Amino acid sequence: MPSPRLTPKVARLLAMQMFGVVLALLAVLAFVLWNTRPNGPAASGYVGGIDATHVTITWIAFAAILGALIYIHVNFARQLLSESRGDRRGVETW
């Protein structure tokens, strides 16, 4: 039974936008990973102040935070897609 407040078309649009946010978060993570490599862009003559220990801490921190955000957005998008098909996934109405 679809939601009376959310049309299927709008639910699909919102789900696709949430998947777009996931792609943007993955791009941010890739950007951080690429630019914080110890021998990355800084190897062209400029020596940065980041070493292997700080790189590892940075990668773990960004991966954990962005991983949690990606997980939340994917679950929200799946909920919206099932809502647009008329399926209920065990969520009570308000």
- Number of domains present in the structure of the chain: 1
**Domain extent for 17:** 8-85
The pLDDT profile of the chain, 94 residues, written as one tens digit per residue, is 555 678 889 989 999 999 999 999 999 999 988 888 776 555 555 555 677 888 899 999 999 999 999 999 999 999 889 888 887 666 665 5
Reported pTM: 0.76
pLDDT at residue 69 in the model: 96
For residue 91, is it within any domain?
A: no
For residue 80, is it within any domain?
A: yes
**CA of 73: how far to CAs of 41, 84, 85, 86, 87, in Å?**
31, 16, 18, 20, 19
For residue 94, is it within any domain?
A: no
pLDDT at residue 86 in the model: 80
For residue 93, is it within any domain?
A: no
For residue 1, is it within any domain?
A: no
pLDDT at residue 49 in the model: 64
